[in-house]
């Protein structure tokens, strides 16, 4: 994986290395608590929402540390529908029942994403996600989410053929964030 290095302090999170160059975490390096709108629990890795339009990932091993940081700084902690987790589900080494599939499509619909839009998004990312999970030998069968999609779009595991140029990646990055943030809040933990 690409390097993710940061330090969670009392009132900010300082990033010394973040894999996505177009991200706020890469450009600004320091994310003060007052600039974090929420902690999101449902995207595989925990994340924080900054600038209203971007999720910044934190390693799962620091989940408790991040939770404490958010609690101490009065930052809401929410569970959201994992929109990309549902969209990318077809690229897992798993089969689901028709009932499960319909329930997932209903969740997307409740987030403002139609079945047609879901199909179009799957078609758009199919090549890189198949290469990322199957051709590479990764064979993930539990969860693929936004972070996996972004890594695949950088050519990680998917190969050079699927690596987007810096300009293409930045455009796709913010499109993917917009889609991810359509995920409605299921529960506010704190």
**86-140, pLDDT tens digit by residue?**
999 999 998 889 999 999 999 999 999 999 999 999 999 999 999 999 999 999 8
Could you tell me how many residues make up the chain?
190
Residue 136 and residue 115 share a domain: yes
Same domain, 63 and 124: no
Q: 18 by DSSP, 3-state: which?
A: coil
Q: What is the mean pLDDT of residues 3-13?
A: 95
CA 144, CA 176: separation in Å to the nearest integer?
14
Percent of the chain with pLDDT over 90: 89
The residue segments making up the domain with residue 166 are 83-184
Same domain, yes or no, for 87 and 76?
no
Are 157 and 2 within 8 A, CB to CB?
Answer: no
Give domain status of residue 189, yes or no: no
63: confidence class by pLDDT, cuts 50, 70, 90: very high
What average pLDDT does range 61-72 have in this prediction? 96
Would the pLDDT of 177 be above 70?
yes
Q: Beta-strand (E) ranges in the chain?
A: 5-8, 12-17, 30-32, 36-40, 47-50, 54-57, 77-80, 185-188
Residues 20-58: tens digit of each pLDDT: 999 999 999 999 999 999 999 876 789 999 999 999 999
Q: Are 74 and 10 contained in the same domain?
A: yes
Q: What per-residue confidence (pLDDT) applies to 6? A: 97
Q: Last residue of a domain, which of 65, 81, 97? A: 81
The stretch 160-178 carries a mean pLDDT of 97
Tokens of 171: 């455009």
Does an H or E element contain 129, and which?
helix 115-130
Domain boundary among 81, 101, 118: 81
Question: Tens of pLDDT along 149-158?
Answer: 999 999 999 9
């Amino acid at each position: 994986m690409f390097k993710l290095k940061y330090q969670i302090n009392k009132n900010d999170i300082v990033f010394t290395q973040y894999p996505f160059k177009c991200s706020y975490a890469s450009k600004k390096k320091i994310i003060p608590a007052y600039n974090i709108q929420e902690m999101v629990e449902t995207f595989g890795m925990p994340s924080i929402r900054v600038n209203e339009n971007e999720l910044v990932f934190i390693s799962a091993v620091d989940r408790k540390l991040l939770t404490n940081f958010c609690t101490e700084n009065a930052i809401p902690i929410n569970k959201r529908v994992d929109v990309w987790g549902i969209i990318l589900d077809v690229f897992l080494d798993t089969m689901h029942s028709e009932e499960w599939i319909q329930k997932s499509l209903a969740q997307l619909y409740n987030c403002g994403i139609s079945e047609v839009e879901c199909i179009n998004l799957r078609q758009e990312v199919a090549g890189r996600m198949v290469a990322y999970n199957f051709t590479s030998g990764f064979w993930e069968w539990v969860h693929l989410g936004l972070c996996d999609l972004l890594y695949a779009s950088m050519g990680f595991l998917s190969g050079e053929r699927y690596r987007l140029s810096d300009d293409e990646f930045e455009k796709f990055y913010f499109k993917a964030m917009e889609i991810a943030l359509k995920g409605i809040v299921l529960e506010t933990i704190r």
